[in-house]
Amino acid sequence: MSHKHRPPRDRRGVAAVEFAVVAPVLLTIMFAMIQLNRSYEAQNLLETAAREGARFASMDRDGMLTDGQTANGKLAEDVKTFLESNGLPREGITVEVKDADDPSLDFDIADPDNDLRLFEVRVSVDYSDISYMSVGADSDYAMSASVYFRNGRATISD
């Protein structure tokens, strides 16, 4: 039995068609991974900023405040500066210092009556402010982090 030798089929353009089918899927996955990484990075930055802002309350603040600046104001400015230096837009950042017992009340970390009391630092930014892609108003939400801390100032030892 003899096999007839068939001529090869014309396969020009097959790779281009396969690429045209696969490329959109690969690009979508790539952009989704980039966006997901940005979200995780922003969340980690918010958590770090909240922790470092709260840590400020445990420090001896003598000589750290400028004229007319409050301790809460310095805490908020330091948090915003940290986040801005890491690529988050300063104007979209919200920093709140709240009483741990009653979160509806603001907490003054400089008030001596608040020494050794727990407080909460909340830091938030809208997802649309950190996203590389446009986010519709109906899909936007606030990314936030908070930390509870004790308002106990430790003096720096020599």
Q: Which helix (H) or strand (E) holds 125?
A: strand 118-126
Domain count, the chain: 1
Work out the burial of residue 45: count CB atoms within 10 Å of its CB; fewer than 13 is exposed, 13-18 middle, 19 or more buried.
buried
Higher local confidence (pLDDT), 15 or 3: 15
| CB neighbour list of residue 50: distance below 8 Å, 6 or more residues apart | 79, 121, 122, 123, 145, 146, 147
| Domain contains 21 | yes
Token pair for 93: 């950042």
| Domain contains 4 | no
For the entire predicted model, the pTM comes to 0.79
Q: What is the pLDDT of residues 19-77, one digit of tens each?
A: 999 999 999 999 999 999 999 999 999 999 999 999 887 777 778 888 889 999 999 99
Classify 89 in phi/psi space as left (phi over 0), alpha (psi -120 to 50) or beta. Answer: beta
Greatest alpha-carbon span in the chain: 103
Closest CA to 147 of 117, 121, 109, 114: 121
- pLDDT of 156 > 80? The answer is no
Range of the structural domain that residue 52 is part of: 14-150
| Domain contains 2 | no
Q: What is the pLDDT of residues 78-128, one digit of tens each?
A: 999 999 999 999 999 999 999 999 999 999 999 989 988 999 999 999 988
| Domain contains 1 | no
| Domain contains 158 | no
Q: What is the pLDDT of residues 11-35, one digit of tens each?
A: 778 888 899 999 999 999 999 999 9
| Domain contains 3 | no
- Distance, CA of 152 to CA of 112 (rounded, Å): 10
